Structure 1
């Protein structure tokens, strides 16, 4: 019972309790209280996670008023999508984030940028069969912010790399892909006067999105 209470060493102070005729009942009560505390902590953690997911979903579905560009925090936008994918990522994907300490906002359409990150992260997870390393790098140059999303999957076959941004083209099995994802991503990035590039070899695929700081 002491082990169940987390006492694995230095048990000498507990010896009088073990010799006490009522010691077993006291330890049993302590164990039950410990279980309640652990359950409460689990509930608290789950509640915090649920609150974050609800907030992320609200942020994800937020529409830009009047269709106008607004100041957008790229890191917050990415974190919104990562929060939504948390349960899927924790099953076997290590996420490495290389963010700058400070990053200026850009002018953009937050809901559409969320679609970009969702598509790229979703594709990365699928490319790794839900197990591997997802690396997100954010860098800033004089005129742009660059977001690179790298997965450790098998890579995009060389013979189809020139087609992946074409409408209706997909490498996924029938019923799993519409072939519209990367085409939509490209159009959203172009709408932001940005650009998207990729580099893929077996074991490493990187999509890099460049967004202008001011447009």
Structure 2
């Protein structure tokens, strides 16, 4: 039953074989049926294929299973009568595919011979990987070499750090964690795709081991190693700072777009104000003529005319308020103009067009200036008007949604501390629930019924206040909700 390798009490043929075995330039080893290496020559030892080591612990699980199946088939053959070819993609000390010729020696042992590894000495691989370590471990980019099944053959220090394994530097453990889905590394998606045929660059959003979002630009370069093995070099450059800057530029673009729209709105309102002023002048002239000639009107007609005049006076007063606001908006393209203006004027200009809405919903308004009516602040009046109007309308909606029918109240309290003025806008409407407090200023977030709110008003108000070097905060409980605006004052 074949040739038994005891190397003890051997005859001359055994000794000749032993001499050839030990001095062959090819890696040779004898494998037990349980996968443990029984004997290995010096060429195999250079690649850590040593006696009493488990061969299949060096290779990936899939290739180990395929090799075991081929060895199983050999067991049914006559010893030394048939050989099979077994491929392994990598061992710890080199980055290439190897093909092994395997023969059944006897019922318990297999002989492995590789005719490829001798072309590279262990020193070549050590030099190669040593240079890679010196060069790539000092590189802040994540650098790795991946084989065709997605396993890393080489990674630099930055990649270990990203994976949270900076103190281990164990590539086998790293691959196992990837295989089990415990970690995910940028650019390594070979379980879904084949190795690229040409260099490509892709941007990917991922998270590090602490859960922090990080943007990477993954450059993938295919590498054809000796003996047909295909691997892929992946260099991942951290783009997070660039992405943050890009987001800021997008925000600035949105603000500029917003200002352009406001500027255009100012032009429209200016034209509307002129168109509105002309018929108002005619109406006022007509009313003056009627009043001057009221003696010519009989008693019955006079009562009717007086009622009509009172109604017209009421409408004209409302139109005048709207006209003043529109003129303020349109004046000098104020969307980009900074003025010194009294806080009382700012608030009254905003509230002039909202008083009727308060009356319509039976909401009481209290304003306490604390003697600061003449206090001036430097701002863009139109922007403050928009921000404060959004906040005020939000207070009205909060009261309406709460369905409270009695004691509906909005309060405005002005106070000053050092060089900052504080505006507290309170309402006794619906409470802001705890789970919504971190989202209240997010764009498109709204707690209003579907179709009743865009979710943009508070976000726009916050952005405007912050652009004025101010801050906006809020507190909410069962009794009331208060938004506090703080702005620098003169």
User: Aligning the two structures, in what range does the TM-score lie when normalised by the shorter sequence?
Assistant: 0.7 to 0.9
| Equivalent position of 1:118 in the other structure | 389
Match of 1:81 among 350, 375, 386: 350
How far did 1:112 drift? 0.8
Deviation string, structure 1 residues 104-141 (Cα, Å, up to 9, x no partner): 21111111111111110110010011862111111222
Match of 2:429 among 153, 162, 168: 153
1:70 aligns with 2:70: no
How far did 1:77 drift? 1.9
| Equivalent position of 2:56 in the other structure | none
With normalisation by structure 2, the TM-score equals 0.35
Query: For residues 208 and 148 of structure 1, what CA distance do their matches in structure 2 show?
Result: 5
Confirm or deny: 8 A CA contact 1:98 1:136 kept in the other structure: yes
Deviation string, structure 1 residues 168-211 (Cα, Å, up to 9, x no partner): 22112232222222222111111111111111112311101010
| Equivalent position of 1:191 in the other structure | 467
SS of residue in 1 equivalent to 2:324: helix
Deviation string, structure 1 residues 151-174 (Cα, Å, up to 9, x no partner): 110211121112111222211223
Match of 2:309 among 14, 17, 40: 40
SS of residue in 2 equivalent to 1:129: helix
How far did 1:38 drift? 3.9
Query: For residues 449 and 301 of structure 2, what CA distance do their matches in structure 1 show?
Result: 51
Query: For residues 31 and 146 of structure 1, what CA distance do their matches in structure 2 show?
Result: 56
How far did 1:44 drift? 1.9
Task: Tell me how large the CA RMSD over aligned residues is.
Answer: 2.2
Match of 2:328 among 51, 59, 62: 59
**How many aligned positions are there?**
185
1:105 aligns with 2:381: no
Match of 1:204 among 475, 480, 483: 480
SS of residue in 2 equivalent to 1:119: helix
SS of residue in 1 equivalent to 2:414: strand
SS of residue in 1 equivalent to 2:438: helix
How far did 1:60 drift? 3.8
For structure 1, list consecutive stretches of 5 or more residues without a partner in the other structure.
1-28
Larger Rg: 2
Task: Specify which structure has the bigger relative contact order, considering alpha-carbon pairs within 8 angstroms and separated by 6 or more residues.
Answer: 1
Higher mean C-alpha displacement, 168-177 vs 196-205 = 168-177
| Equivalent position of 1:133 in the other structure | 409
Confirm or deny: 8 A CA contact 1:60 1:81 kept in the other structure: no
Query: For residues 122 and 106 of structure 1, what CA distance do their matches in structure 2 show?
Result: 23
Query: For residues 437 and 313 of structure 2, what CA distance do their matches in structure 1 show?
Result: 46
Query: For residues 203 and 42 of structure 1, what CA distance do their matches in structure 2 show?
Result: 39
Deviation string, structure 1 residues 33-81 (Cα, Å, up to 9, x no partner): 445334323322332222122112322454327x342213322222122
Query: For residues 171 and 187 of structure 1, what CA distance do their matches in structure 2 show?
Result: 20
Confirm or deny: 8 A CA contact 1:57 1:84 kept in the other structure: no
With normalisation by structure 1, the TM-score equals 0.76
Deviation string, structure 1 residues 5-25 (Cα, Å, up to 9, x no partner): xxxxxxxxxxxxxxxxxxxxx
Query: For residues 32 and 203 of structure 1, what CA distance do their matches in structure 2 show?
Result: 53
1:171 aligns with 2:451: no
SS of residue in 2 equivalent to 1:128: helix
